[in-house]
């Protein structure tokens, strides 16, 4: 909703007019699980998949969620969390000898040994830009030794991003300041008249016929904004807060060029970051500083099904291993690499990675970890990112292409799809690529578990990714002999082919075939995936 509110505000003050957005049907919690033919929503046909599996036994699959952490007390998740049976909880001893003390539910690579966690991190573009500026600025590729060319190109990309963000933010701030003034002034007029601190759409309708022209002008502005939000519960304060947050982001982009980023992680964790073998750091505190992100992801994959609480996950025989490596800001390559290795060493067969960034200075750490996971038969599922870009041209990390040009075969990349109820088939924010995005999956208005026994809807390839992870876990659970490569093949070839014309993500005016946005041209479908897995099994007999 926040992304939509900001879009509406900026659009209004850019065009001074609106055309009402019309949705062909209402939004529905859990639409992503439904079936187009029977329910009218372009979901994954999950119930039809389970109908095919009736009477068939499943095996428990461990799924690692590398993310911001998970609320391990969440009512709809507690029963499906992985527990390290080799550890005795709270005794302060590394009972299983894996180097991580009391890792009952998983491990946090973004914390100190005393349990304090990193909640806020810097951005990788700033770390790279300032970290290698003295070494690379003013040089061309011919000046760079072979063993540093990859890092040089990472610095070039970081510098281009930093400089563009800086220039754009300087231009944008005066406009946003004017918009904020208009929004705040009109809010004050209405609040003073109504003697309230905040208001919703219903509150301002009577004001449109007020004899005071100032009140009518303020009410008209808010009437236009509220009518586009398509949510009667939204208050004016949500718009104001979103503008304030956005202005803060602009300040951040300016400061990213002017100031070296603070090393909050290093100050807290105290490892030797450039040494991948210095790996036994962090703590077992998976909740503090986690926010909602990892909890939303975990619930999408495997929240307890059919228990009458909250919502249903996709896979019904899964244990979620929580690994914290993604605090606010950008993750560090070393933490991601060690998180992948931890998951593979502790029995995970699928790893969900709903995170990413535009540069990866220590990509070799991650490449080696992906290869290690492949050697253990582990499937990696990664969201394509939310920048509305073609990642064939603008690489989003981590990615399956190694520095040496080889490509991982145990890696699937996911874009975000929608439905008529969410505004269209292709999510307007989703990254895409005919070469490097494998499949699309529902990633708009995904209702899932939140911290503190809450539930909420969210958008992003961060949610599309666990939809694919959930289907992959379902397949692995009921067809345990499937390899990562076979699961990828089943998912990508059985998905629903879509040849409709859609707005290109990141460019609403340009129309393209949905099929051009990924290598498969498809949206994942659990029913078709199970049907194909059954057919493959029968063929092998």
Calculate the alpha carbon distances from 340 to 118, 120, 122, 207, 491 in Å.
19, 22, 22, 57, 22
**Is residue 110 domain-resident?**
no
Are residue 64 and residue 15 in the same domain, yes or no?
no
**Is residue 70 domain-resident?**
yes
Q: Are 305 and 47 in contact (CB under 8 A)?
A: no
Average pLDDT value for residue range 467-480:
98
pLDDT tens, position by position, 323-351: 999 998 899 999 999 999 999 999 999 99
pLDDT tens, position by position, 140-183: 999 999 999 999 999 999 999 999 999 999 999 999 999 899 99
Supply the pLDDT for residue 6. 56
Are residue 399 and residue 379 in the same domain, yes or no?
yes
**Is residue 106 domain-resident?**
no
Calculate the alpha carbon distances from 380 to 115, 363, 460, 486 in Å.
28, 16, 18, 13
**Is residue 241 domain-resident?**
yes
Supply the pLDDT for residue 200. 94
Are residue 156 and residue 234 in the same domain, yes or no?
yes
**Is residue 474 domain-resident?**
yes
> Of 245, 261, 277, which one is at a domain's C-terminal end?
261
Are residue 365 and residue 478 in the same domain, yes or no?
yes
Average pLDDT value for residue range 92-107:
96
Confidence of residue 354 (pLDDT cuts 50, 70, 90): very high
Are residue 11 and residue 39 in the same domain, yes or no?
no
Are residue 226 and residue 252 in the same domain, yes or no?
yes
**Which structural domain range is residue 348 located in?**
34-86+289-540
Average pLDDT, whole number, for the chain?
93
The DSSP bridge pattern shows strands 446-450 and 411-417 to be unpaired
Are residue 229 and residue 336 in the same domain, yes or no?
no
Q: Specify the CATH number for the domain of residue 316.
A: 3.40.50.200
Are residue 375 and residue 246 in the same domain, yes or no?
no
Are residue 78 and residue 144 in the same domain, yes or no?
no
Are residue 298 and residue 230 in the same domain, yes or no?
no
On the question of a cis peptide bond just before residue 398, with omega within 30 degrees of 0, the verdict is: yes
Residue spans of beta strands (DSSP E) within 212-330: 318-324
**Is residue 269 domain-resident?**
no
Q: Are 341 and 82 in contact (CB under 8 A)?
A: no
DSSP single-letter state for residue 437: -
Are residue 180 and residue 152 in the same domain, yes or no?
yes
Supply the pLDDT for residue 3. 47
| Total count of domains within the chain | 2
Residue spans of beta strands (DSSP E) within 372-428: 379-383, 411-417
Q: How far apart are CA 63 and CA 191, in angstroms?
A: 49
Q: How far apart are CA 320 and CA 64, in angstroms?
A: 6
DSSP single-letter state for residue 338: H
**Is residue 223 domain-resident?**
yes
Confidence of residue 16 (pLDDT cuts 50, 70, 90): very low
Are residue 297 and residue 372 in the same domain, yes or no?
yes
**Is residue 247 domain-resident?**
yes
pLDDT tens, position by position, 273-329: 999 999 999 999 998 777 899 999 999 999 999 999 999 999 999 999 999 999 988
> Of 208, 243, 261, which one is at a domain's C-terminal end?
261
Calculate the alpha carbon distances from 453 to 122, 177, 311, 474 in Å.
29, 37, 11, 25
> Of 242, 261, 280, which one is at a domain's C-terminal end?
261
Calculate the alpha carbon distances from 112 to 72, 115, 116, 398 in Å.
19, 6, 5, 25
């Amino acid at each position: 909703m926040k992304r939509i509110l900001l879009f509406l505000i900026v659009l209004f003050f850019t065009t001074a007019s609106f055309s009402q957005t019309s949705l062909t049907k209402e939004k529905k919690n859990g639409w992503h699980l439904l079936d187009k033919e029977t329910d009218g929503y372009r979901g994954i046909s999950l119930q039809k998949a389970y109908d095919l599996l009736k009477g068939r036994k499943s095996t428990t699959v461990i799924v690692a969620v590398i993310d911001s952490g998970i609320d391990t007390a969440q009512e709809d998740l507690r029963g499906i969390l992985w527990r390290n049976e080799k550890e005795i909880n709270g005794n302060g001893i590394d009972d299983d000898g894996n180097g991580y003390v009391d890792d009952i539910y998983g491990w946090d690579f973004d914390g100190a040994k005393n349990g304090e966690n990193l909640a806020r991190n810097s951005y990788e573009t700033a770390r790279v830009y300032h970290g290698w500026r003295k070494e690379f600025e003013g040089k061309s590729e011919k000046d760079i030794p072979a063993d540093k060319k990859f890092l040089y190109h990472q610095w070039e990309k970081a510098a281009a991003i930093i400089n563009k963000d800086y220039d754009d933010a300087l231009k944008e701030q005066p406009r946003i300041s004017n918009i904020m003034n208009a929004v705040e002034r009109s809010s004050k007029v209405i609040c003073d008249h109504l003697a309230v601190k905040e208001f919703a759409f219903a509150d301002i309708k009577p004001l449109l016929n007020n004899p005071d022209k100032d009140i009518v002008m303020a009410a008209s502005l808010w009437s236009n904004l509220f009518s586009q939000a398509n949510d009667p519960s939204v208050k004016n304060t949500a718009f104001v807060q979103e503008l304030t947050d956005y202005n803060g982001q602009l300040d951040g982009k300016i400061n990213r060029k002017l100031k070296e980023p603070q090393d909050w992680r290093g100050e807290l964790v105290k490892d030797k970051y450039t040494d991948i073998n210095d790996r036994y750091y962090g703590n077992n505190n998976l909740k503090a500083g986690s926010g909602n992100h990892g909890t939303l992801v975990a619930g999408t994959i495997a929240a307890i099904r059919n228990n009458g609480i909250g919502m249903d996950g996709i896979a019904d025989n899964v244990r979620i291993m929580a690994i914290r490596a993604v605090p606010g800001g950008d993750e560090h390559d070393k933490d991601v690499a060690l998180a992948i290795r931890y998951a593979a060493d502790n029995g995970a067969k699928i790893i969900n990675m709903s995170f990413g960034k535009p540069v990866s200075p220590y990509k070799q750490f991650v490449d080696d970890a992906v290869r290690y996971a492949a050697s253990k038969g582990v499937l990696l599922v990664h969201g394509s990112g939310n920048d509305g870009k073609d990642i064939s041209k603008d690489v989003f990390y981590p990615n399956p292409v190694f520095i040496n040009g080889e490509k991982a075969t145990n890696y699937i990349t996911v874009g975000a799809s929608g439905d008529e109820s969410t505004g269209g088939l292709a999510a307007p924010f989703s990254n895409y690529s005919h070469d490097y995005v494998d499949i699309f999956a529902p990633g708009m208005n995904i209702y899932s578990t939140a911290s503190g026994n809450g539930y909420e809807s969210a958008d992003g390839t961060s949610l599309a990714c666990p939809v694919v992870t959930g289907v992959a876990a379902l397949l692995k659970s009921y067809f345990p002999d499937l390899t990562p490569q076979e699961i990828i093949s089943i998912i990508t070839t059985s998905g629903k082919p879509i040849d409709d014309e859609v707005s290109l993500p990141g460019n609403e005016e340009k129309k393209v075939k949905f099929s051009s946005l990924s290598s498969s041209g498809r949206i994942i479908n659990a029913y078709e995936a199970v049907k194909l897995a059954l057919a493959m099994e029968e063929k092998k007999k």
